[in-house]
Every structure is written in C-alpha cells, then in structure tokens.
Amino acid sequence: MGISQASIVESDERLLERVAFIHETIDSDAIVEQFIAGRELYVGIMGFERPTVFPPWELLFENLAPGAAAIATAKVKHDPRYQEERGIFQREADLPEELIAHISRITRRIYRVLALDGYARIDYRLSADGTPYFLEANPNPDIAQSEEFASAAEALGLDYAPMLDRLVRQGMTALRRGR
C-alpha cells in the first residue's frame, strides 16, 4: 500500500513530503528504502528442514508510460485492465544458471535467518550488473493457481493440486510436531 510512481523521490524534502503523505492517507508508518533500478524477481520456497526453492519469476513491464519506473504499484498488482493496457505480466526469469544458483542460496539463507517455514516468497531487485538485492519476505504469498508462486512450482514440475497437497501435509506435520 502506498507505493506509486510518486514514491521515488530525489531529495530529502520530497522524502519528508512522501512520508507525511503516507502517514496521512494510509494512517501507517512508512518504510523508506533506496530505489534500485532493475528487474523485479520473486522466488518461492517451501518446506522445513530442506526447503525447495522455485525458479525465479519476473514481473515484466512491456508498455510503461514514458518516464515511469518499473515498480510494483497497487495498480500493477491489482488492476487487470491496467496490467493488460501496460503489458504487465509474469514469467520465469531468463537468467544464467550460476545466477539462479546464487539467488537460490540467498533465498534459503533468508528463509532460515527469518525463521520462515512452510512456504514463503522472497522478493528481489536485480540491478543492471546482476546483483540481487533483497527487498522483502512474504511469509504468506498468494498461492492461487494464476499467481507466480504456483506458476514457479509448476515450472519446477510440481503441478497445482500436488503443490497444495504438499503444503497441507507440511502444515499437518508441523502441527503434530508442535511447530
């Protein structure tokens, strides 16, 4: 919530204005982070002791408005008409194998450090020089069949119904173990 093209600011004065805007309109604290130009990647992960990392999925922008940054605003995330109009879609990221392996290792580490379990989605920005920057962890990502978590699982060979079955079985096992 609150992420828009106006979120990218170039001065301390504009930053203070944007934070005040977030406080007033959303009635919430504001998170401030450095903007990293690059590709938006989502990496699903599921499991406990030996979690499975899914292939990186990418949010693509084919028809951005002139001067607009490729960021996941509320319209980008939730407005199907806007998505169609602007050519916004997701697919498996076309990345070199060694970068995929690196991102997979980082994802496992983040998952462990944040004490996540069951399933999660880790979001990154990939800079032009190929450096992945951790943005956030989603401990309860959307697992609808049309969303990137399920699509990435399918790309790994885990179809939707078996993926859901695996998630439910993991949850039942966790309950029995008192997790």
For residues 131 and 90, give the distance between their C-alpha atoms in angstroms, rounded to a whole number: 20
Judgement on whether residues 50 and 115 belong to the same structural domain of the protein: yes
Per-residue pLDDT tens digits for 97-141: 999 999 999 999 999 999 998 999 999 999 999 999 999 999 999
Distance separating alpha carbons of residues 101 and 63, to the nearest angstrom? 30
pLDDT of residue 77: 86
Whether residue 21 lies inside any domain: the answer is: yes
The verdict on residue 70 lying in a domain is: no
Q: 20 and 41: one domain?
A: no
User: Are 54 and 136 in a shared domain?
Assistant: yes
The answer for residues whose C-beta is within 8 angstroms of residue 141's C-beta and 6 or more apart is 42, 44, 119, 120, 121, 147, 149
In a domain, residue 14? The reply is yes
> Do 57 and 1 reside in the same domain of the chain?
no
User: Does a structural domain hold residue 18?
Assistant: yes
pTM, rounded to two decimals: 0.89
Whether residues 158 and 109 fall in one domain: yes
Does the structure show a pLDDT above 80 at 79?
A: yes
- Residue 27 shares a structural domain with residue 93: no
Distance CA 85, CA 172 (A): 42
The answer to the question of residue 80 being in a domain is: no
- Domain assignment of residue 81, yes or no: no
Pairing of strands 57-61, 52-53: unpaired
The pLDDT assigned to 67 comes to 87
Confidence of residue 179 (pLDDT cuts 50, 70, 90): low
Domain annotation covers residue 9 = yes
Same domain, 43 and 16: no
Structural domain boundaries enclosing 8: 1-32
The enclosing domain of 134 has a CATH number of 3.30.470.20
Class of residue 97 by CB neighbours under 10 A (exposed 0-12, middle 13-18, buried 19+): exposed
Total number of domains constituting the chain: 2
Tell me: the pLDDT tens digits for 25-77?
989 888 898 999 999 999 999 998 899 999 999 999 998 888 888 888 888 88
